[in-house]
Amino acid sequence: DTIKIFCPATIANVSCGFDVLGLCLESIGDEMIITKTNEKGVRITAITGADLPFETEKNVAGVAALALIEKLQPDYGFEIQIHKKIKAGSGIGSSAASAAGAVFGINYLLDNPLTLKELIPFATEGEKLASGTAHADNVAPALLGGFTLVRSYEPLDVISIKAPEELYASVIHPQIELKTIDARSVLRENISLKKATIQCGNLGGLISGLYTNDYELIGRSLHDELVEPVRSILIPKFKELKAAAKAEGALGGGISGSGPSVFALSKGRETAQKAATAMAAVMQDIGVPFEVHVSPI
């Protein structure tokens, strides 16, 4: 009656898919242990690696868990242990990992009454607590793996997108905390028709490139007209990081989620490793502490 869960980090937006596209980082993530108890309700019994609230209603995993048990009305309760490895405010889906892990674990311990897709809305309740909006572009890939597209929010329609086997992500996380809620407050409400047209072209191009294993097309499509121009101002050496990764053969890159992490996509682990090393050198030059990761998708 206990499950140990790997809760993966994720990259939301993936440049041209603001709030709709996301991908799962297979080798980076938190660990959660969830235990079924006779006492009803949800209790957070341990948190390591981060300073997060133990009160269920104030904890992202707790809120997602409560939303799910409100729906399923089980005869049991649950104890949750959270062991964070993904830093809060890093831009690689820290809150989504917790929310997705909580609903996955509880659903599993109840013999999977809901499908993974059906769990998404409950996990987004946790995201809402963390960032003020119930965006699903981190929780969807955390639950389903690979690339996901939120085709529609109302009604919620999430699609798994096929991706080439050899696609790897490099992520650099400058250790400055950027809260999603703040990174959203700088965004413009309205966009021009011209920008919308460019964005649609790139999003379509990226999806097509993923399905056809066309790495060049994937690279050409990793471009963002809508949020990157505004948010990149908040990220030290953003342009240089992207250029350094591309100079080593990365296909392209951008801001990971709402930042400050910056990602690059590459064909093959070796290129992804080189891109990560090049981005690390840029950060080292300006003396900002950072973490760097390479992961298959």
Q: For ligand HSE, which is the closer residue by CB, 139 or 283? A: 139
- Residue 252, strand partner residues: 265
Alpha helices in the chain (DSSP H): 60-72, 94-109, 116-131, 139-144, 180-185, 193-212, 215-221, 228-231, 238-247, 269-286
- Decide: is 12 part of the binding site for ligand HSE (CB under 6 A): yes
Q: For ligand HSE, which is the closer residue by CB, 30 or 248? A: 30
- Decide: is 199 part of the binding site for ligand HSE (CB under 6 A): no
- Decide: is 180 part of the binding site for ligand HSE (CB under 6 A): yes
DSSP percent split of the chain into helix, strand, coil, nearest 5? 40, 25, 30
Q: For ligand HSE, which is the closer residue by CB, 9 or 67? A: 9
Site string for ligand HSE, 135-154 (x = CB under 6 A): x-xx----------------
Is the Cα dihedral 80, 86, 88, 94 positive or negative?
negative
Identify the active-site residue in 10, 148, 180, 271.
180
Residue with tokens 């086997």: 165
Q: What is the dihedral of CA 271, 275, 277, 279, to 10 degrees?
A: 180
Q: Is 166 a catalytic residue?
A: no
- Segment lying near ligand HSE (by CB under 6 A), choices 13-21, 97-105, 153-161, 211-219: 13-21
Cβ atoms of 93 and 257 within 8 Å: the answer is yes
- Decide: is 19 part of the binding site for ligand HSE (CB under 6 A): yes
- Segment lying near ligand HSE (by CB under 6 A), choices 12-20, 35-43, 199-207, 217-225: 12-20
Identify the active-site residue in 124, 125, 127, 228.
127
> Would you name the residues annotated as active-site residues?
127, 180
